[in-house]
Chains A and B, each alone.
Chain A
Amino acid sequence: MAAGVAAWLPFARAAAIGWMPVANCPMPIAPRDHRKRHDELIILNVSGRRFQTWRTTLDRFPDTLLGSSEKQFFYDEETKEYFFDRDPDSFRSILNFYRTGKLHYPRYECISAYDEELTFFGIIPEIIGDCCYEEYKDRKRENAERLQDDQDDNKDCKLPNMTYRETMWRAFENPHTSTMALVFYYVTGFFIAISVLTNVIETVPCGATPSQKDMPCGERYTIAFFCMDTACVLIFTVEYLMRLFAAPSRYQFMRSVMSIIDVVAIFPYYIGLVMTDNEDVSGAFVTLRVFRVFRIFKFSRHSQGLRILGYTLKSCASELGFLLFSLTMAIIIFATVMFYAEKGSSSTKFTSIPASFWYTIVTMTTLGYGDMVPKTIAGKIFGSICSLSGVLVIALPVPVIVSNFSRIYHQNQRADKRRAQKVQKARLARIRIAQTGSSCTGFLQSKRNDLLNELLELTGSEEEEQQLNKSMSLLESQHHHLLHCLEKTTAHEFVDEQLYEQNCLETTIQSYTSRSPSFSSQDGPMGTCCTRRGKMNSPLPNSSLPLQPSHQQGSLQELSALHIQCGDKVPHTNSRSSLNMKTDEVGLINCKGSQITTAIISIPTAPSDTTDGDGLHGPPQRRPPPPPTGPQAPSINTTASSNVIKVSAL
Chain B
Amino acid sequence: MGALMVIFSLQKDQRRKRTDSVEDELELSAVRHRPEGLEQLEALTRFNRKELQILYRGFKNECPSGMVNEDTFKVIYSQFFPQGDASMYAHFLFNAFDTDKDGSVSFEDFVMGLSILLRGSVQEKLNWAFNLYDINKDGYITKEEMLDIMKAIYDMMGKCTYPLLKDDTPRQHVEIFFQKMDKNKDGVVTIDEFIDCCQNDENIMRSMQLFENVI
Contacts and interface: CB of A to CB of B under 8 A. Distances in A.
Residue among A22, A99, A558 with most chain B CB within 10 A: A22
A422 B1 CA distance: 42
Residue among B77, B132, B210 with most chain A CB within 10 A: B210
A563 B172 CA distance: 9
B153 A19 contact: yes
Contact of B82 (A4, A24, A646): A646
B5 A16 contact: no
Contacts of B169: 490, 492, 560-561
B213 A403 contact: no
A26 B203 contact: yes
A484 to B, nearest CB: 11
A391 B129 CA distance: 72
Contacts of B163: 492, 503, 545, 556-559, 567
A23 B61 CA distance: 33
Interface string B97-140: 00000000000001001100110000001101100110000000
B50 A402 contact: no
B117 A494 contact: no
Contact of A15 (B57, B83, B117, B176): B117
A131 B204 CA distance: 48
A13 B214 contact: yes
Nearest to B12: A399
A3 interface: yes
Contact of A395 (B5, B57, B96): B5
A479 B6 CA distance: 59
B179 to A, nearest CB: 9
B19 interface: no
A451 B79 CA distance: 26
Contacts of B44: none
B161 interface: yes
B90 to A, nearest CB: 9
A22 B207 CA distance: 11
Given A17-B117, A483-B81, A11 B110 contact: yes
B88 interface: no
B82 A8 contact: no
A14 B59 CA distance: 15
Residue among A1, A561, A646, A648 with most chain B CB within 10 A: A561
A14 B114 contact: yes
Contacts of B156: 486
A560 B166 contact: yes
B194 to A, nearest CB: 7
A54 B57 CA distance: 11
A567 B162 CA distance: 12
B58 interface: yes
Contact of B62 (A8, A26, A32): A8
Contacts of B18: none
B80 A12 contact: yes
15 contacts: A4-B61, A5-B76, A8-B58, A13-B214, A17-B211, A21-B126, A21-B133, A22-B149, A26-B206, A27-B210, A395-B8, A486-B157, A492-B157, A492-B165, A495-B162
Nearest to A29: B210
B37 interface: no
A58 to B, nearest CB: 13
Interface of B: 1-2, 4-6, 8-9, 12, 50, 54-55, 57-59, 61-63, 76-77, 79-83, 93, 96, 110, 113-114, 117-118, 125-126, 128-129, 132-133, 149-150, 153-154, 156-166, 169, 172-173, 175-177, 194, 198, 203-204, 206-208, 210-211, 213-215
Interface in A596-650: 637, 646-650
Q: What 8 A-B pairs have minimum CB-CB distances, sorted nearest first?
A: A7-B58, A399-B9, A4-B62, A500-B160, A14-B117, A558-B163, A648-B82, A492-B161
Residue among B93, B113, B163 with most chain A CB within 10 A: B163
Interface of A: 1-27, 29-30, 32-33, 37-39, 54, 56, 99-100, 366, 391, 394-395, 398-400, 402-403, 442, 479, 482-483, 485-487, 489-497, 499-500, 503-504, 507, 544-545, 556-563, 567, 583-584, 637, 646-650
Nearest to B72: A4
Given A24-B176, A395-B8, A399-B8, A490 B153 contact: yes
A503 B204 contact: no
Contacts of A490: 153-154, 157, 161, 169, 173
Contacts of B55: 10
A11 B114 contact: yes
Nearest to B206: A26
B175 to A, nearest CB: 8
A17 B93 CA distance: 11
Contacts of A442: 82
Contacts of B133: 18, 21
Contacts of A1: 79
Given A27-B210, A567-B163, A18 B96 contact: yes
B5 A21 contact: no
Contacts of A54: 57
Given A39-B54, A403-B9, A494 B160 contact: yes
A571 B172 CA distance: 28
Given A18-B93, A26-B207, A494 B61 contact: no
A6 B172 CA distance: 35
Nearest to B78: A648
B163 to A, nearest CB: 4
Given A3-B62, A8-B58, A558-B164, 16 more contacts: A4-B62, A7-B59, A17-B117, A17-B129, A17-B211, A18-B132, A20-B129, A22-B150, A366-B1, A399-B5, A483-B80, A486-B156, A494-B158, A500-B161, A561-B176, A648-B82
Given A486-B153, A560-B172, A20 B208 contact: yes
Contact of B204 (A5, A20, A559): A20
Given A16-B211, A560-B172, A495 B161 contact: yes
B172 A647 contact: no
Contacts of A557: 163
Contacts of B194: 21
A474 to B, nearest CB: 12
A558 B50 CA distance: 47
Contacts of B172: 560-563
Given A17-B129, A399-B6, A494 B161 contact: yes
A3 B118 CA distance: 23
Given A5-B80, A391-B1, A648-B82, A21 B213 contact: no
Contacts of B4: 395
Given A22-B177, A490-B157, A561-B172, A499 B126 contact: no
Contacts of A648: 79, 82
Given A8-B58, A11-B114, A490-B153, A500 B162 contact: yes
A377 B40 CA distance: 86
Contacts of A556: 163
B150 to A, nearest CB: 7
B153 A489 contact: yes
Contacts of B79: 1-2, 5, 648-650
Contact of B208 (A7, A17, A485): A17
Residue among A18, A23, A504, A647 with most chain B CB within 10 A: A18
A497 B160 CA distance: 6
B164 A21 contact: no
B177 A14 contact: no
Contacts of A492: 154, 157, 161-163, 165, 169
A532 B50 CA distance: 44
Contacts of B82: 442, 646-648, 650
B81 A486 contact: yes
A282 B118 CA distance: 98
